Amino acid sequence: MPATAAVVLAGGRSSRMGEPKAGAEWHGSTLLRRVAGLVARGVDGPVVVVRAPGQELPPLPAAVEVVEDTAHARGPLEGMATGLAAVRDRAQHAFVCSTDLPLLHPAYVRAVARAGQDVDVALPVVGGRRQPLAACYRTSLAGRARELLAQDRGRPAFLLEGADVRLLDEPELLADTALGTADPQLRSVLGANTPEELRVLRGLPAPEVLVQRFGVLASGGGHGGRTVRAATLDAAARAVGLVLDRHLLAAVNGDATGRDGALPLAEGDVVAFLSADAGG
């Protein structure tokens, strides 16, 4: 499959939230850090965050690129045009999402990206509602998006006109085995647009993950692991009595992660810890 990028829209006015969503706290991290980290696990191309001109953002991994909208307050289509253009030369498609989806699962990103490889837009429909800000777009649509903005037609829905759109209903999405197992309720599309919505989503249990300890960290002689609730790598370490410092190596689902405590975890992850010290 050709490379698929990810575009995270962070430049919205957040008028309903009352504060910038990007920096809103989420279980020891921020909404933007979480979403950017989750989409990065679902694509094999670059990850781009689109911000408003001059907008301050919370810390992000070095690999995440940041680009700016060309104008203030022109809605999500402005960010889509900017983000799709930023990755157009490196990926044929991009998963595009807003910054307020803390329950987004990498399996959802992968499923939607796969469905979009032969069309202009793979558009999920969950709960009877289209999800244009949790969908996959052909990056060549960047030019069309810019044309629509020049015509003052700034809604993402206008981008679908004349495009080859594949609608993905819930049964089709959940037919993807990995997604059906990890997120059977499709909570990936639940957004936090208001303080109350954010409060409700924060009140849900953190992802259930399996933590394994190896080498000198293993207890009881076995590596079967312990199931805990943790939204970040740091939380997973603390849940089993470890401190995420230079003495610890970590991997998520077999992939080395470094020591970024804010690294987001998703339902069903397997986290492995190993001592970095000689002989560990």
> What is the tens place of the pLDDT at every residue in 111-163?
999 999 999 999 999 999 999 999 999 999 999 999 999 999 989 999 999 99
* Mean pLDDT across 171-178: 97
Q: Residue 221's pLDDT band (boundaries 50, 70, 90)? A: very low
- Average model confidence (pLDDT) across the chain: 92
Q: Give SS3 for 163.
A: coil
Instruction: Name the phi and psi angles at 176, rounded to 5.
Output: -70, 115
Domains, the chain, in order of start with CATH, read: 4-198 (3.90.550.10), 208-275 (3.10.20.30)
Instruction: Give the model's pLDDT for residue 258.
Output: 80
Instruction: Please give the model's pTM, rounded to 2 decimal places.
Output: 0.94
Nearest to 139 by CA among 205, 79, 92, 74: 92
The pair of structure tokens assigned to 25 is: 């706290």
Alpha carbons 7 and 111: distance in angstroms, whole number? 16
DSSP letter string, 173-211: HHTSHHHHHH-TT-GGG----SHHHHHHHHTSPPPEEEE
d(CA 263, CA 38): 9
Annotate 205-274 with three-state secondary structure: CCCEEEEEEEHHHCCCCCCCCEEEECCEHHHHHHHCCCCCCCCEEEEECCEECCCCCCCECCCCCEEEEE
Q: Are the C-beta atoms of residues 34 and 26 closer than 8 Å to each other? A: yes
- 195-204 per-position pLDDT tens digit: 899 999 999 9
pLDDT of 101 higher than 80: yes
Residue 183 has pLDDT above 50, yes or no: yes
Residue 70: DSSP 8-state: S
Torsion, CA 100, CA 133, CA 187, CA 45, rounded to 10: -90
Residue 19 C-alpha from the chain's centroid: 20
Q: What value does the CA radius of gyration of the chain take, rounded to a whole number of Å?
A: 19
The SS3 call for residue 95 is strand
Q: What is the pLDDT of residue 14?
A: 59
* Average pLDDT score over residue span 208-233: 84
Q: Does residue 279 register a pLDDT over 70?
A: no
Partners of 209 in the β-ladder = 228
**How high is the pLDDT of residue 223?**
63
Q: For 50-80, what is each residue's pLDDT tens digit?
A: 999 989 999 999 999 999 998 776 789 999 9
